[in-house]
Chain A
Amino acid sequence: MTRSLAAWILGLDLELILLLVYLVVLWVGGWVLERLARAHFDRAARLAHAGFAYDAELDRYECPQGELLTLHTYDDRDKLAMYQAPARSCNECVLKTFCTPHDEGRRVYRSLSEFHETDLGGFHRRLSLVILGVSVVFAAGGLAAWRTRPGGGLLAIATGVAVVLFWRDLRDAPAAVPTGS
């Protein structure tokens, strides 16, 4: 069974095998692109308040020196919550020069936007849509060329997978695509 499967695979056109590999590269590429972008979005958000621990239950931050930053303002339009430490405490702190350039107390901004709501989320989503769209065209083109030859079935499956992946990305796209000013 294994031997006959191997013989069947070895009997396939090299170009067909390359095409299938390329389709997998495109699917993985589209997925990795969005995952990486999202991971860096989260990382950038973390770096924005590195060293400050957020307590979700009490909705406040604690600075490395143990001072608490409580919710100061909430900007609904920009989806930003701003937390601030007491000015006097910061101005007396030994780490002030490394922490904040002004005397009003250290602030931390927390973005409440989801990744897909941002322009960057939309940018990466559209790129991944193009990647998956290319995979649909290549899979369908390959299917047309190999439909009566060995391996045509594999391309039929690949076309189905490509269409499903593209459709899933497209379905989520409207919320992600920036609408301009």
Chain B
Amino acid sequence: MANRRPMLVSPLWMQGSILTFVIGFSLLAFSAIRMYQDHAPVPERIVDESGKPLFTGAQILHGQEQFLTYGLMQFGTVYGHGAYLGPDFTADYLHREAEHMIKQYGGDGKARERTRDELRGNRYDPATGTLVWTAGQAAAFEEIHKHLQEQVYNRESSGNGLKPAMIAADEDARAITAFIAWTAWTSAARRPGLPYSYTNNWPAEELVGNSLTGDAIMWSALSLVALLGGIGVVLGVYGRHSPLIGWHESEEQRVRFAAPDAVPLTPAQRVTAWFFLVVAALFLLQNLVGGATVHYMVEAGGFFGIDLPRWLPYNLTRTWHLQLAIFFVATAYLAAGIFLAPLISGREPRGQGLLSAVLLGALAVVVFGSLGGEYLSYHGLLPQGLRSFLGAQGWEYLDLGRFWMYLLIIGMALWLVIIYRGLAHRLAGESRGNLPWLFLYSALSIPGFYAVGLLTHVQSTFAIGDFWRFWVVHLWVEDFLELFTTMLVALIFVLVGVVSERFATRLIYFDVMLYSIGGVVGTLHHCYFSGGPAVEMALGAFFSAAEVIPLTLLTVEAWSFLQLGNRRQVGGAAAFPHRWAVLFLASVGFWNFLGAGVFGFLINLPVVSYYEIGTLLTSNHGHAAFMGVYGMLALALLVFCSRYLARPEDWNEGLVRFSFWGTNLGLMLMILGHLFPLGVLQLGDVVTNGYWHARTEWFLNHPWLSWARMPGDLVFMAGSAPLVWMTLKIALRTRVAPPTVDSSGSYVDYALYTEVGPAQG
């Protein structure tokens, strides 16, 4: 310990980070306990009024498994979670059920009142595990099952983006309807002793008297108070202490950048050239299947006349679209970690190149194995017992089969070993609170928090499965990847001499504290309406509004950090080799503000989310935030590292420029030309005609606006294509670099920049 370099910043930064981290996760642990105690129950049996069994709890869970593994969560939604082409099965079932019962009971005012009372009434007896359904509910089940058979499970021909005869076994189909019927029951039946349903009265449905709860309004108002107060406090503190914690220096240094072709490359760094080829190829493929996915919105039966759903139905293309998004971003992060480790450490242990190659092979197996598994699962080509293991688990974003998930976690653990070995030399001489250790901790969180997804099973009670799923979707993606993003950006800026290590370290600690306060507990804003207790909504609303505070601050900082490379750029790429990498980072800052900050906050409050969930405004936020922040960062990393991997004659500034403008302007066109306006109109339809309506016939009313997506998509795809060509050339002809070890076996001391003192005018 005596030989370690002391902490560059005050230990208070580390202590504060640990304290806020513990507080954040304590609150989340409390919410987990409450979720297990008070989630919507799955009855052991459901019977009619004469006691005749209709179906069992086991059938409901079996139905959930079939629903997921046939990819129906990637076609429509339950509780507003899933894909957007199909209906929300919960809301749709509830509406059809109420209409059927009203008709059955005579169609007059009394029938409406009786229907409302029967659906709101909770006849579940926890002591016996029995739920009693009325005659109307039982009859509605049969009619809706028939409708779902014809329109979803067993279509005679392709349509609605689905292939014909998708679910042949009647037993499975009936179980799926039982699952959907159960979700509808939880959304209308009142919690014992409370005036609202298990789903906090979601969805809005006039026929059963579902409307916003007082809790939703109260917690929305309180969260706004928290937001305004929090922003005031944080910006006040920031305004006073910004010289300490911002992306700026006490004194700017004037530096000379090492020519990229003069920088030595280690064996592991050379392997990353292949990683980046995979990144570019996956990115292009992700765009192409995204194009097919969105095309189903205007032509649900095919693709320009081709019967595409027969082979690549909507649920499959959407699954691939989401999975490839995670894969291409994750691959870029893994590659960047491997590339940066020797730059931080100054050396590379023997065998890192081989380990990196093994990791690349393992990644390829996981990516293509899981995509293939999803194809086989959705097409019903795997036996029942293997479908969720080798095929697809089908939870949106955790779509891949469990076997592939295990492999992915093992792969990420291998990456962690590579990073640790790469940094070990430097770590030995550093305080555990300094930047290299922080890099290792943040790397550790990547496999660690993804592994939490293993707590989600295909037969988990939905509220619990969804709760753990959002640990991955929100906590992993929105918090720990965000932290890793800040870490990588900070490291790159330190490595190229834009900020000092001390400033970068402070900023990372500050980030940890801000995310621990808002982001960690903010995970619960995804769980307002999926059958958890109201306390989830209270915590989620209060803290997710606070999520905007770090985003506001990071935005202020992002705009400032954009200026950092700026002075280095004036004078052209000859002076500053990372012009386009920094511009991609600039776009990360911009999309963080618009996509995560503005569009994220727009849909966060319970009063908004109640109507908005599962509309295109969610997709709008997803595209602007995920592609805008993580996607653009992945491309920034690709460009940054490729600059050193490419032979000078292979580096094509024009291609990178084209990609930069194509992806950014294409994304902006997608958002403003299609997702945002269409999302707002859809939200209006939810408020006017009810959620079920906005998720079904509504699309048909806006064909021209749906086509407005095309220009943005085409520009975006055009922007992604050149990167494949460039990375292919670099992978095949990686630069012949000076060795990192000299003739005496000592490591060559090198840096990406040198300070040059006053410029000569």
Contacts and interface: CB of A to CB of B under 8 A. Distances in A.
Given A77-B571, A79-B570, A119-B583, A127 B665 contact: yes
Interface string B673-703: 1000100110010000000000000000000
Contacts of A131: 668, 672
B254 interface: yes
A170 to B, nearest CB: 14
Interface residues of A, number: 53
A118 interface: yes
B571 A123 contact: no
B654 interface: yes
Interface string A1-38: 00000000000001100100010001000000000110
A124 B567 CA distance: 17
Contacts of A40: 556, 559-560, 562-563
- Among B242, B590, B654, the most chain A Cβ lie within 10 Å of the Cβ of B590
A130 B672 contact: yes
Interface string B654-671: 100100010011001100
- 9 smallest beta-carbon distances between A and B, as pairs: A44-B563, A40-B559, A181-B573, A73-B761, A78-B571, A74-B761, A134-B672, A75-B759, A78-B570
B219 to A, nearest CB: 28
Contacts of A106: 251
A76 interface: yes
A154 B249 CA distance: 51
A80 B758 contact: no
A126 interface: yes
A138 B563 CA distance: 33
Given A41-B563, A84-B758, A127-B664, 15 more contacts: A15-B681, A22-B677, A44-B248, A44-B566, A45-B563, A47-B560, A77-B570, A82-B254, A104-B757, A118-B570, A120-B566, A124-B590, A127-B668, A134-B669, A180-B657
A148 interface: no
A38 B383 CA distance: 60
A131 B684 CA distance: 23
A158 B293 CA distance: 33
B672 A36 contact: no
Interface string B549-566: 000000010011011101
Interface stretch (A54-62, A94-102, A159-167): A94-102
Contact of B574 (A76, A123, A181): A181
Interface string A137-164: 1100100000000000000000000000
Nearest to B669: A130
Interface of A: 14-15, 18, 22, 26, 36-37, 40-41, 43-45, 47-48, 50, 72-80, 82, 84, 98-101, 104, 106-109, 111, 113, 117-120, 123-124, 126-127, 130-131, 134, 137-138, 141, 180-181
Interface string B249-281: 111101000000000000000000000000000
Nearest to A124: B590
B728 interface: no
Contact of B250 (A26, A100, A130, A134): A100
A131 B571 CA distance: 29
Contacts, number: 136
Contact of A22 (B249, B251, B575, B680): B680
B759 A82 contact: yes
B653 interface: yes
B265 to A, nearest CB: 23
A22 B560 CA distance: 29
B356 to A, nearest CB: 31
Given A47-B246, A119-B583, A180-B653, A126 B570 contact: no
12 contacts: A44-B563, A48-B249, A73-B761, A77-B570, A77-B571, A78-B759, A79-B570, A82-B758, A117-B570, A130-B672, A138-B677, A180-B573
At the interface, is chain B mostly helix, strand, loop or mixed? helix
Nearest to B704: A141
A47 B248 contact: yes
A111 B570 contact: yes
Contact of B579 (A18, A107, A119): A119
A13 B748 CA distance: 72
B760 interface: yes
Contact of B758 (A37, A50, A72, A127): A72
A126 B664 CA distance: 10
Contacts of B657: 180
A99 B758 CA distance: 17
Contacts of A15: 681
A86 to B, nearest CB: 13
A80 B759 contact: yes
Contacts of B654: 180
B672 A73 contact: no
Given A107-B758, A111-B567, A120-B566, A44 B560 contact: yes
Nearest to A109: B252
Nearest to A73: B761
Given A80-B759, A118-B566, A119-B569, A18 B250 contact: no
Contacts of B251: 99-101, 106-108
B275 to A, nearest CB: 26
B247 to A, nearest CB: 8
Nearest to B654: A180
Interface string B181-203: 00000000000000000000000
B664 to A, nearest CB: 7
A134 B566 contact: no
A48 B570 contact: no
Contacts of B586: 119-120, 123
A22 B564 CA distance: 34
